[in-house]
Amino acid sequence: DTEVTQTPKHLVMGMTNKKSLKCEQHMGHRAMYWYKQKAKKPPELMFVYSYEKLSINESVPSRFSPECPNSSLLNLHLHALQPEDSALYLCASSPGVTGELFFGEGSRLTVL
């Protein structure tokens, strides 16, 4: 069982909706990540939080808005998405010194 928990597992939303993806880890990891993965492609980095501060934003469109309320939680707020944003959104955490990533099961997003 994964120690990184993501909700919801599946989400269908219209282009005008506002929704949020949530991620929680209790491994004491100080780095947390959002990745986007399309079919048959490797995960693509979106954001990195280190010690609850945003440290990397890979030029992600502003319709994706990350938030890190505390060291265990990571949210991704979604607004005015496009159908091409449909993908598997993966949250990960890392001890931060070795490069190992621990992924949640992902939230499969469909934008209609």
Partner 1 sequence: RKEVEQDPGPFNVPEGATVAFNCTYSNSASQSFFWYRQDCRKEPKLLMSVYSSGNEDGRFTAQLNRASQYISLLIRDSKLSDSATYLCVVPNSGGYQKVTFGTGTKLQVIP
The DSSP bridge partners found for residue 73 are: 24, 70
x-or-dash pattern for partner 1, window 55-94, by CB under 8 A? xx-------------------------------x-x---x
2 lies in the site for partner 1, by CB under 8 A: yes
Residue closer to partner 1 by CB (options 42, 83) is 42
**How many residues bind partner 1, per CB under 8 A?**
25
Tell me how many helices (H) and strands (E) the chain has: 0, 11
Q: Which of 13, 22, 45, 60 binds partner 1 (CB under 8 A)?
A: 45
Q: Which residue do the tokens 């994964």 mark?
A: 2
Q: What are phi and psi of 85, to 5 degrees?
A: -80, -5
The residue count for the chain: 112
